[in-house]
Structure 1
Amino acid sequence: MNTALAPSRLDLYLQLIRWDKPVGSLLLLWPTLAALWIAAGGFPGWHLLFVFTAGTFLMRSAGCAVNDVADRDFDRHVKRTAQRPVTTGAVSVHEALALGAVLALLAFALVLTTNAATIAWSFAALAVAIAYPFTKRFFSMPQAVLGVAFSFGIPMAFAAVTGSVPWLAWALLVGNLFWVVAYDTEYAMVDRDDDLKIGIRTSAITFGRFDVCAVMGLYGLYLAVWGVLCWQLGYRFGLLLGLAAALAQILWHYSLIRSRSREGCFLAFRQNHWVGLAVFLGLVIDPWLR
């Protein structure tokens, strides 16, 4: 091999944490920021904005490292993941776990600047994030576990603002979980043929021929739950604009996934962060439109 063309350790580590693929971080970020705005009744302050934005990117990166270690024996059999650094051996298991631990500790250091309730809930969030990759081996709907992991910024945001986690936070988490299962099912549809061969369990396999209907139904539940809850909180025109923009994108996603092509499903997944951004921005601008 030409060592002059070999990636540096830094390049390999950046590949490991998906530095060039920020979609996952954005999918985590928008509902977390939306929860911050709801909990604070508006702008939550620069401190919490920084903590949750930076913490989101750090924890997603740490999660990628753990996920790749857990899935290394499966990933080599999947077209899309066969060249991941841990799978190819370019990054060792110990290196990946060490990097993940450092990133998680940095995120925890940010949490320590908040309050006791947020610190306590961060341990639960970490446990779910670590457990998720292993649920693919025995649970027919691991995307639901991912949904909890990717939605845990919501109760933590409420804890950071109010010092407690009210029922509203859990209701928003459930609504967001529907969205996560929807877009991660699109993601799983990309790898379904490979996953069937190696015995990985996913929602795309569980839903079977009803996968497209299930995805659209889950999107609808997400918009309905967040729409009703935010309407009850007094959000109006901005909320409706955000939901309408999100719905327009979801209808476009239907056109992408209905044929179940790898390209269409992967594109739909990668564009989902715009759905979350639309809902978030609707909540942000709502007070200006009253």
Structure 2
Amino acid sequence: MQSILKISNLRAYYYLLRINQPSGLFLLLWPTLWALWLSGLNTPPLKIFLVFVLGVFFMRSAGCVVNDIVDLKIDGHILRTKERVLPSGEISIQEAKFLYIGLLLISCCLVCNLHFLTIYLSLFGLVLTCIYPFMKRYTHLPQVILGLSFSWGIPMAWVEVSNSITITCFLLFLANLCWVVSYDTQYSMADRADDLKMGVKSTAILFGCYDKIIISLLQLVTLLLLTLVGLLIGLHLIFYISILIACVLFIYQQVLINNREPDLCLKAFMQNNWVGLIIFIGIASSI
């Protein structure tokens, strides 16, 4: 691996792993933290917390690398992505593959510290990570696959802490799935023109002129399911205040995407990190 990876390319690896763009990392982290706190109704053990946080970082990075490998030819023709380190030729495909393998090996070492059932669940999460980049070629619903992938930390965390999967876990999973589809549709709205030229599929293209309405419905379902989770567990008032704040942020996102301007769609997408953080604060303060 040392003969392929180059110290002179450390900056390029930094960008390939999207360390400079932590928004995706946090969007994967927040629901995992929700589940870690809710499953035990307490602060999780430090070891479990660290394994999941590090796992989120390495698997998110692995997902970015494999996505860039698969999309190499597409990214070179899209304005927003053509300057990425792979399509620009700053690093080789071999370097990217070695990094991907290394990230997976580190993730495997981390998950081996968890219960057997959690390890078993992680295998399906790995499959989701690997197949997601190909979905935009075959279905208009790649955002659903991403939603499953970004929600998979929920059952893993739940099983690790409580050794069970409950209806509350399932509702939290569904809530996050709806949320991911809503914000990744916002993200894909920014690329819709380029995607249509390249023949790439997405929910933004599938929903067409109904995109804003469907996003708002997905956001509403997210809030309703999270509220139901809070009622089932018996969370305190501050959690419902966090839900109300999230609702206000969703309304603001609708204002941003109203004219479907790419830059504002991306801005709306970025707002979702605040949604995840606020809900986590509401959960952590209510148990």
Partner of 2:246: 246
CA distance in 1, matches of 2:103, 2:77: 28
Cα offset, 1:92, TM superposition: 1.8
CA distance in 2, matches of 1:199, 1:159: 40
Partner of 1:114: 114
Partner of 1:4: none
| Kept after mapping to 2: 8 A contact 1:141/1:201 | yes
CA distance in 2, matches of 1:270, 1:91: 28
CA distance in 2, matches of 1:187, 1:162: 34
| Kept after mapping to 1: 8 A contact 2:51/2:111 | yes
Q: Which runs of 5+ in 1 are unaligned?
A: 1-6
Residues 119-198 of structure 1 correspond to what in structure 2 (within 5 A)?
119-198=119-198
CA distance in 2, matches of 1:218, 1:161: 29
CA distance in 1, matches of 2:285, 2:229: 17
CA distance in 2, matches of 1:188, 1:70: 17
Residue 86 of structure 1 aligns to a residue whose secondary structure is coil
CA distance in 2, matches of 1:249, 1:115: 37
Residue 213 of structure 2 aligns to a residue whose secondary structure is helix
Partner of 2:4: none
RMSD after superposition: 1.2
| Kept after mapping to 1: 8 A contact 2:168/2:232 | no
Deviations 1:60-98 (A, max 9, x none): 001000000011111111111011111122222221121
| Kept after mapping to 1: 8 A contact 2:143/2:202 | yes
Amino acid aligned to 2:244: A
Partner of 2:34: 34
CA distance in 2, matches of 1:236, 1:57: 30
| Kept after mapping to 2: 8 A contact 1:117/1:164 | no
Q: Which runs of 5+ in 2 are unaligned?
A: 1-6
Partner of 1:216: 216
| Kept after mapping to 2: 8 A contact 1:238/1:282 | yes
Cα offset, 1:183, TM superposition: 0.4
The yes-or-no answer on 1:14 pairing with 2:14 is yes
Amino acid aligned to 2:216: M
Partner of 1:3: none
The yes-or-no answer on 1:225 pairing with 2:222 is no
Which is further off, 112-121 or 161-170? 161-170
Partner of 2:94: 94
- TM-score normalised according to structure 2 size: 0.95
| Kept after mapping to 2: 8 A contact 1:256/1:267 | yes
Partner of 1:79: 79
Q: Sequence identity of aligned pairs in percent?
A: 39
Residue 285 of structure 2 aligns to a residue whose secondary structure is helix
Cα offset, 1:167, TM superposition: 3.5
